[in-house]
Amino acid sequence: MSLPNEQIEYSRKDLSPKVRQIGLLLFALGLIIAVAAYLTEPIRASFMNLVLLMFLLSVGLGSLFFVALEYLAGAVWSTPYRRIIEIFAATLFVLPIVALPVYFNIHDLFHWTHLDGVSKDIALSSKSGYLNVPFFTVRIIAFFLVWILFYSLLTRNSRKQDAIKDQLLTKKNIKISAVFMPFFALTVTFSAIDWMMSLEPHWFSTIFGVYYFSGTVLAALSVATVAIILLNKNGYLVKGIISDHYYSLGALLFAFINFWAYIAFSQFLLIWYANLPEETFWFLSRWENGWMFFTIGLAFVHFLVPYFGLLSQPSKMNPNRLLFMSVWILVAHFYDLYWLIMPTFSKGEFVFGWMEIGFILLGFGILVLIFVVFSKNKNLVPVGDPKLKRGIDFRL
C-alpha cells in the first residue's frame, strides 16, 4: 500500500538548543512576572490569566481544527507541514494547568457565581440553569476531554503512518475529522460563551462564538506560519516548500483577517443600530474612560494593517514579509482577547502595564516550549502521507 515517497528529501534533525533556551527564557520571565502579578493584584492577574488561557486555547483548538480541515477537504498544499500544526495542537494539554488559577478565582471573575446576587436578579436567575458552577465545571472538563480524545486519535494515526505508510490511516483520519467538526463547532462556541461572554452575564450576542472562532483560526494559522517559515529557512523541513506554499498560507490568513472584520463589524453594527441599553453597555464600557483609543486601535491592528500588509501577491510570497505579518497577527489576536476581557475588569480606566506584558511573554514562551517538547523524536514532516508528494509539487 505504500506510495512512492522515495524522491522526498527529508532527514530528521534535532532542534537547535537555542530554541529551547529562548523558550525557557520567555517562559521564566513570564512566569516570574505572572507570579508577581498574582501577589500584587490577584484579580487583575486572574483576568490576564484568562486572556492567556483563551490565547492558548485559540492556538491549540485552531490547530486541531486545521488538521481536521485538511483531512476533510482533501487539501494537499498543507500536507508537507501538517505535522507542525499537529504539534501546536498539543497546546491543548497545557490548558488545564493555565485554567486552574482562573478556576480558583472564579468568584472574582464571574458575577454569576455569586448566588445571592443571582437570586435577586431576574435575568441571571433565569439563566442560572446554564450559568452555574457545577455545570460550568462539567462543561470545561468535558470539552477538554473531547479535545484530547480527538487530538490523540488524529495525531496517533498520522504518526503511525510515518512508519507503516498505510493509506488507510488517512481514510480513517478523514472519518475522525468528520466526527470532530460538529464537536469543534459546539465546543468553540460554548467555550467562548462560558469563559468570555459570561463575564458580563447580562450581555448577549449570538455571533460571539463565530467571533471567537475567527480569531482562533487566525491565531493557529499565524503560529503555524511563523514556525513553518523559520523551520524551512533553517532546513528542518522537507525540500521543496516554496513561495507557492507561503502564498497559500498568506492567502488563508488574509481571508480570515477579512472574515474576522466582517464578523466583528456585524456584531457592532446590529447593536449600534438597535441601540438597546441591555446590549450597548458592552460596547460603551469599551468606549468610555480611555478605552476608546484601544477600541479604534483594534480596527487598525487587527484589520487595516494586516489587510494592506497582505493584500499584494509579493507580500504573501516573500517569507520575510509574511513572517512579519504572521507575528503581527498573533499579537493582534492577543490584543483582541485583551479587548474582549479586560474592560470587564477595569471599566473605570484603560489599563496596561508590566503584568500584561508578563502574561504575553508567558504565552509565547509556552508556545515555543510546547513545540520543543512535542517535536522531540518526531518527524517534522508526515513522511508516510500519500498526499505528501503532491503537496510538495503544489503550484499555484
Partner 1 sequence: MKDKILFGYTGLFDTPDSIINAAKKASEEGYKKFDINTPYPVHGMNKAMKLPPSKLGYASLVFGLSGTISALLFMYWTSVLDYPIVIGGKPFFALPAFVPIMFEVTVLSAAIATVLTMIIVYFKFPNISHPLHDTDYMRKVSSDKYGICIQADDELFDESKVQLFLKELNAQSIAPVYFDDEETENKPSAFDKKFIALLAVVAIIVSGSTYILLNKVVYSVPFNWMMNQNKISPQQSNAFFSDGFGMRNPVEETISRGNLPYQFKNKPEEAGLLLANPLAFTEENINLGRNKFDIYCSPCHGYFGNGDSRLRGQFPNPPSLHSEKVRNWKDGNIFHVITEGQNIMPSYSSQLTRQERWAVVLYIRALQRAQNAKESDIQ
Q: Which is nearer to partner 1, 76 or 252 (CB)?
A: 76
What's at 46, amino acid-wise?
Answer: S
Among residue numbers 298 through 327, which ones bind partner 1 (CB under 8 A)?
Answer: 311-313
Give the C-alpha separation, 209 to 196, whole Å. Answer: 10
Q: With the CA atoms of 383, 384, 385 and 389 taken in that order, what torsion angle do they form, in degrees rounded to the nearest 10? A: 60
Nearest to 91 by CA among 308, 388, 366: 366
Give the C-alpha separation, 363 to 192, whole Å. Answer: 19
Q: Which is nearer to partner 1, 180 or 256 (CB)?
A: 256
User: CA-based Rg of the chain, rounded to a whole angstrom?
Assistant: 21
Give the C-alpha separation, 279 to 270, whole Å. Answer: 10
Q: How far is the CB of 275 from partner 1 (least distance, A)?
A: 7
Q: Residue 395, interface with partner 1 (CB under 8 A)?
A: yes
Q: Residue 188 — φ and ψ, nearest 5°?
A: -70, -35
Q: Which is nearer to partner 1, 83 or 389 (CB)?
A: 389
Q: How far is the CB of 264 from partner 1 (least distance, A)?
A: 12
Among residue numbers 264 through 283, which ones bind partner 1 (CB under 8 A)?
Answer: 265, 268-269, 272-273, 275
Contact window for partner 1 (CB under 8 A) among 30-38, 72-80, 226-234, 261-269: 261-269
Give the C-alpha separation, 93 to 147, whole Å. Answer: 9
Query: Roughly how many angstroms between the first and final C-alpha of the chain, as a whole number?
Result: 29
What lies within 8 Å, CB to CB, of 44 at 6+ separation is: 37, 345, 346, 351, 355
Q: Which is nearer to partner 1, 69 or 242 (CB)?
A: 242
What's at 231, amino acid-wise?
Answer: L
Site size toward partner 1, by CB under 8 A: 12
Q: How far is the CB of 196 from partner 1 (least distance, A)?
A: 23
Q: Which is nearer to partner 1, 267 or 326 (CB)?
A: 267
Q: Which is nearer to partner 1, 168 or 269 (CB)?
A: 269
Q: How far is the CB of 272 from partner 1 (least distance, A)?
A: 5
Q: Which is nearer to partner 1, 103 or 268 (CB)?
A: 268
Residue given cell 472519518 in the structure block: 175
Give the C-alpha separation, 22 to 84, whole Å. Answer: 19
Per-residue binding string, partner 1, 357-386, x by CB under 8 A, is: ------------------------------
Q: How far is the CB of 269 from partner 1 (least distance, A)?
A: 5
Among residue numbers 109 through 128, which ones bind partner 1 (CB under 8 A)?
Answer: none
Residue given cell 488559577 in the structure block: 101
Q: How far is the CB of 183 from partner 1 (least distance, A)?
A: 33
Q: How far is the CB of 395 from partner 1 (least distance, A)?
A: 4
DSSP class per residue in 16-32: PHHHHHHHHHHHHHHHH
Specify the DSSP class assigned to residue 243: H
Q: How far is the CB of 259 from partner 1 (least distance, A)?
A: 14
Q: Which is nearer to partner 1, 66 or 339 (CB)?
A: 339
Give the C-alpha separation, 161 to 174, whole Å. Answer: 14
Q: How far is the CB of 314 from partner 1 (least distance, A)?
A: 9
Q: Which is nearer to partner 1, 108 or 288 (CB)?
A: 288
Q: Residue numbers of the site for partner 1 (CB under 8 A)?
A: 265, 268-269, 272-273, 275, 311-313, 394-396
